[in-house]
Amino acid sequence: MSHYDAIVIGSGFGGSVAALRLTEKGYRVLVIEKGKRFAASDFPRTNWDLKRWMWRPELGLTGIFQMSFLEHVTVMHGVGVGGGSLVYANTLPTPKDPFFESTSWSSLASWKKELEPHYATARRMLGAAKNPLMTRGDEVLRSIAKELGREEHFHATDVAVYFGKPNASVADPYFGGKGPDRVGCNFCGSCMTGCRVGAKNTLDRNYLYLAELGGAKVVAETEVTAVRPGAEGGYRVETRASFGRGEPAVLTADKVFFAGGVMGTVPLLLAMKEDPHGLPHLSSKVGGSVRTNSEAIAGIIVPRADEDFSKGVAITSILHTDEHSHIEPVRYGAGSGFFRTIVLPQTSGSSVASRLGGAAMQVASHPMRWLKAYTVRDFAKQSQVLLYMRTLEGTLTMTLGRGLRTGFRRGVVTRLDDPMNAPQANMPEALELARRFAEKVGGVSATLLTETVLGVPSTAHILGGACMGDSAASGVIDSSNRVFGYDGLYVVDGSAVSANPGVNPSLTITALAERALSLVPAKA
Angle between helices 428-441 and 136-147 (to 10 degrees): 120
Q: What is the pLDDT of residues 57-94, one digit of tens each?
A: 999 999 999 999 999 999 999 999 999 999 999 999 99
**Number of compact structural domains in the chain:** 2
Q: Which helix (H) or strand (E) holds 251?
A: strand 249-258
Mean pLDDT of 351-380: 91
Model confidence band, residue 246 (pLDDT cutoffs 50, 70, 90): confident
Same domain, 237 and 118: yes
| Domain's final residue, options 413, 432, 458 | 458
| Mean pLDDT, rounded, for 467-487 | 98
| Residue where a domain terminates, one of 431, 458, 485 | 458
Q: Are residues 159 and 237 in the same domain?
A: no
Asked if the model's pLDDT at residue 476 lies above 90, the reply is: yes
Q: Does residue 226 sit within a domain?
A: yes
Count the alpha carbons within 13 Å of 239 in the hemisphere toward its beta carbon: 26
Q: Rounded distance, CA 489 to CA 98, Å?
A: 29
> Sheet harboring 74-78: ordered strands across?
65-69, 74-78, 458-459
Q: What is the pTM of this model?
A: 0.96
Same domain, yes or no, for 398 and 454? yes
The single residue of 72, 77, 326, 461 carrying the catalytic annotation is 461
Per-residue confidence at 190, pLDDT binned at 50, 70, 90? very high
Q: Which CATH number belongs to the domain containing residue 238 in this structure?
A: 3.50.50.60
**Residues 344, 349: Cα–Cα separation, whole Å:** 14
Q: Which amino acid is at 254?
A: D
User: Is residue 274 included in any domain, yes or no?
Assistant: yes
Residue 350 sits in the same domain as residue 384: yes
Confidence grade of residue 102 (pLDDT, cut at 50, 70, 90):
very high
Domain shared by 329 and 214, yes or no:
no
Dist. CA 510–CA 201, nearest whole Å? 14
Domain finish residue from 412, 434, 458: 458
Give the model confidence (pLDDT) of 368-424 as tens digits: 999 999 899 999 999 999 999 988 778 999 999 887 666 667 888 999 888 777 777
Q: Is the predicted pLDDT of residue 436 greater than 70, yes or no?
A: yes
Report CA torsion sign: 139, 143, 146, 150: negative
Say whether both 118 and 136 belong to one domain. Answer: no
Range of the domain at 218: 1-37+80-127+201-284+461-524
Mean pLDDT, the chain, integer: 94
Question: What 3 state SS string does 52-106 have?
Answer: HHEEEHHHCEECCEEEEECCCCEEEEECCCCHHHHCCCCECCCCCHHHHCCCCCH
Between 348 and 251, whose confidence is greater?
Answer: 251
pLDDT, tens only, 232-245: 899 999 999 998 77
The pLDDT score that the predictor gives to residue 406 is: 62
Residue 10 located in a structural domain:
yes
Planar angle of CA 114, 255, 226, nearest 5 degrees: 115
209 shares its domain with 231: yes
Residue 45 lies in a domain: no
Look up 118 and say whether it is catalytic. no
Q: What is the DSSP letter of 327?
A: E
Claim to verify: residue 149 and residue 213 sit in the same structural domain: no
Percentage of residues in the chain having pLDDT higher than 90: 85
pLDDT, average across residues 482-504:
97
Q: Which pLDDT value is given to residue 60?
A: 94
Nearest alpha-carbon partner for 86 in 11, 26, 143: 11
The answer to whether residue 42 is domain-embedded is: no
Q: Do 270 and 343 sit in the same domain of this protein?
A: no
Confidence check: pLDDT of 282 > 80: yes
Q: 396 φ, ψ to 5°?
A: -125, 165
Q: Are residues 186 and 323 in the same domain?
A: yes
SS3 content of the chain, % helix, strand, coil (to 5): 30, 25, 45
396 and 323 in one domain?
Answer: yes
Tell me which DSSP letter residue 468 carries.
Answer: B
Q: How far apart are the first and last CA of the chain?
A: 23
Quick check: is 470 in a domain?
A: yes
For residue 61, being part of any structural domain is answered with no
Among 183, 200, 208, 206, residue whose Cα is nearest residue 89: 200
For residue 373, give the 3-state DSSP assignment. Answer: helix
The amino acid at 444: V
63 part of a folded domain: no
- Residue 99 has a pLDDT of 94
Which pLDDT band, with edges at 50, 70 and 90, does 188 fall under? very high
Are 219 and 245 in the same domain?
Answer: yes
Whether the per-residue pLDDT at 442 is higher than 80: the answer is yes
